[in-house]
């Protein structure tokens, strides 16, 4: 277990013995786990004092965690999460905020804040997180890490605290491509769709335009660095109506979040932190008509993206609009940035397709990630491609 935690990424639970295989594909790697996943011998707090008070000590371990332990990864601690995993900022009103090791004056992002900080701060080699609206991808970009939101349903969420069932995914972080690919090999098995060695690259001009101008310039330069090795991308328009997608995501996620956590909130009236309280109130207010409209938008977008990608296409886009906001930013500024980020982050959630944030750039000494989205079921081959993108970008820089 980690005793020195300079980045405040671990929940200070009393240590319990967690067994792992003595050999296997992940032997020698240390593992941190977001405090949404059950681990035998520990409570599961989900970033909420109320959930923690009711948890008790778990007697079984979540299957996705067990898969990592059974292939040799050594558990070093449970990591902080935003309250009920319903934030992108990494600030928990009850338990504080981890420090971003890659940019200490900037937020970690959430809700997998502690998992990102543990890997970026070299306190763990790999970390398990969850991603509903961007909770692995945004922190990965902010911390200069590889981070994946897999195809929806690809990894088990059994014995994990839910937020929004049709969007929730388990995801993971790693600092380097070799380690990232090792974890993918263990967790994903055989792809349903295998990307070719040189997939058809599609650069989403409309999505790059969602980034701030300097971030857009830097990320377009990063794309050009990979062209000699991976090919010239075709410019495309990925989205017909960004506002429609944003509201479809908000309505559907909000309704599902209230369905998951509303009964607990109504019964115990827990004091919810800034932003979290407002998002649950919004979820409670979503109408059946809005849900129906959201579902129609989701179906149309999923079909459009599936046609665009086929079985050999990869979409290039910014992970988020810019580097991480400053820790000193107020709630209004953070909420504005969150809403801008969701316009990029909601696409993988609405489609159910896998997305990987790749560490390829910096701005003002803070990391900035480039993302790839692949066909549903292409997770392992998309991981291999993402590793090649990072290597190509690094070689060209050198």
Annotated catalytic sites, by residue?
A: 34, 111, 135
| Residues linked to residue 355 through DSSP beta bridges, in sequence order | 149, 373
Contact predicate 372/202, CB 8 Å: no
Contact predicate 309/353, CB 8 Å: yes
Secondary structure (3-state) at 135: coil
- Cα–chain center distance at 375: 18
Distance, in Å, from the CA atom of 194 to the CA atom of 374, rounded to the nearest integer, reads: 10
The helix (H) or strand (E) run that includes residue 392 is helix 379-397
| Residues linked to residue 363 through DSSP beta bridges, in sequence order | 366
For 267-300, letters b (16+ CB in 10 Å) and e give eeebebbebbbebbebbeebeeebbebbeebbeb
Calculated CA dihedral for residues 114, 174, 156, 196, nearest 10 degrees:
150
CA–CA distance from 66 to each of 18, 26, 31, 58, 156 (Å)? 10, 12, 11, 14, 11
CB-count burial class (<10 Å; 0-12, 13-18, 19+) for 305: buried
Omega of the bond leading into 368 within 30 degrees of 0 (cis): no
CA-wise closest residue to 33 among 109, 114, 134: 114
* Residue 128 per-residue DSSP state: E
Listed in order, strand segments (DSSP E) in the chain are: 30-34, 74-79, 126-131, 146-149, 169-174, 200-204, 234-236, 313-318, 355-363, 366-373
Listed in sequence order, the residues at least 6 apart from 18 whose beta carbon sits closer than 8 Å to its beta carbon are 39, 40, 41, 61, 69, 75
Residue located via tokens 């330069």 = 221
């Amino acid at each position: 277990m980690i005793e020195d935690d300079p980045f405040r990424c671990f929940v200070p639970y009393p240590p319990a013995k967690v067994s792992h295989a003595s050999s296997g594909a992940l032997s020698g790697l240390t593992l941190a786990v977001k405090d949404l996943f059950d681990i035998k011998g520990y409570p599961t707090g989900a970033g909420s004092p109320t959930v923690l008070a009711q948890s008790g000590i778990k007697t079984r371990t979540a299957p996705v965690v067990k898969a990592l332990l059974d292939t040799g990864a050594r558990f070093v601690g449970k990591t902080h999460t935003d309250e009920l995993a319903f934030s992108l900022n990494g600030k928990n009103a009850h338990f504080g905020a981890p420090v971003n090791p890659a940019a200490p004056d900037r937020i970690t992002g959430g809700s997998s804040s502690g998992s990102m900080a543990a890997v970026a701060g070299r306190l763990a080699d790999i970390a398990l997180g969850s991603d509903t609206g961007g909770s692995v991808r945004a922190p990965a970009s902010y911390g200069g890490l590889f981070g994946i939101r897999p195809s929806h349903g690809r990894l088990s969420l059994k014995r994990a605290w839910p937020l929004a069932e049709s969007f929730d995914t388990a995801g993971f972080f790693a600092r380097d491509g070799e380690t990232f690919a090792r974890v993918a090999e263990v967790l994903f098995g055989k792809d349903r769709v295998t990307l070719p060695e040189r997939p058809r690259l599609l650069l989403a001009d409309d999505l790059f335009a969602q980034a701030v101008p300097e971030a857009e310039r830097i990320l377009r330069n990063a794309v050009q660095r990979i062209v000699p090795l991976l090919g010239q991308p075709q410019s495309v328009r990925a989205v017909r109506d960004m506002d429609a997608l944003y509201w479809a995501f908000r309505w559907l996620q909000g309704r599902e979040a209230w369905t998951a956590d509303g009964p607990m909130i109504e019964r115990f009236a827990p004091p919810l932190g800034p932003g979290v309280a407002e998002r649950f109130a919004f979820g409670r207010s979503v109408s059946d008509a809005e849900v129906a409209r959201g579902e129609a938008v989701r179906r149309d977008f999923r079909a459009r993206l599936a046609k665009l990608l086929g079985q050999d296409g990869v979409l290039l886009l910014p992970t988020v609009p810019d580097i991480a906001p400053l820790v000193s930013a107020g709630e209004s500024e953070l909420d504005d940035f969150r809403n801008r980020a969701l316009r990029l982050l909601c696409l993988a959630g609405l489609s159910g397709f896998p997305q990987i944030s790749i560490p390829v750039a910096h701005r003002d000494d803070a990391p900035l990630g480039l993302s790839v989205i692949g066909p549903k079921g292409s997770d392992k081959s998309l991981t291999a491609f993402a590793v090649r993108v990072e290597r190509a970008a690094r070689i060209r820089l050198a």
